[in-house]
Amino acid sequence: MSTPLQGIKVLDFTGVQSGPSCTQMLAWFGADVIKIERPGVGDVTRHQLRDIPDIDALYFTMLNSNKRSIELNTKTAEGKEVMEKLIREADILVENFHPGAIDHMGFTWEHIQEINPRLIFGSIKGFDECSPYVNVKAYENVAQAAGGAASTTGFWDGPAAGKRCSVG
């Protein structure tokens, strides 16, 4: 049985929740998703809230099933060479690094387009590039505060409490 994204290769340079949930949906529709992780560290959620030693945490597993995974050190010449090869062969690249991180690695939009002009590039950030907060790292609690959702929580005579992160 064929799937809608069969034959599509996705490079997943994401971590925690926003990126992994995005690329997991692509995997569900049949894309070949390759999760790229830092050597020796991986996605930070791999080891958070796990019940069994040496087994990936449930939270990580929920957001990264149906993916292949490799470790890649993009700070070395060899790592950059491998990354260029992966980009050349990919259809989609998704990243949710902090603002400017992928440029700092030497993979600016212009350089990526030279390597693979047909690549679809998805960059997940908390704030628009025209925002005064463009360089602010953003997780869910920052988005709740900036978007106003946090103001609907807490007690009438106290500060906002913010919603707890929902899993999945």
Q: Please report the beta strands in the chain, taking only residues with DSSP state E, as ranges in sequence order.
A: 9-13, 32-37, 67-71, 92-95, 120-123
Return the pLDDT at 150: 73
Alpha helices by DSSP H, the chain: 18-28, 58-64, 77-89, 101-104, 109-115, 140-147
- The Cβ of residue 133 has, within 10 Å, a number of other Cβ atoms equal to 14
Confidence of residue 148 (pLDDT cuts 50, 70, 90): confident
pLDDT per position as a tens digit, 97-108: 988 899 999 999
Task: Tell me whether residue 168 is in a domain.
Answer: no
**∠ Cα 119 17 41 (to 5°):** 85
Judgement on whether residues 18 and 84 belong to the same structural domain of the protein: yes
- The Cβ of residue 107 has, within 10 Å, a number of other Cβ atoms equal to 21
Task: Tell me whether residue 92 is in a domain.
Answer: yes
**∠ Cα 20 23 24 (to 5°):** 80
Q: What is the mean pLDDT of the chain?
A: 88
Task: Tell me whether residue 118 is in a domain.
Answer: yes
Task: Tell me whether residue 137 is in a domain.
Answer: yes
- C-beta separation of 125 from 96 below 8 A: yes
Its domain, for residue 20, covers 9-124
Give dist(CA 163, CA 168) in Å, integer: 15
Kindly report the pTM of this predicted structure.
0.85
How many domains is the chain built from? 2
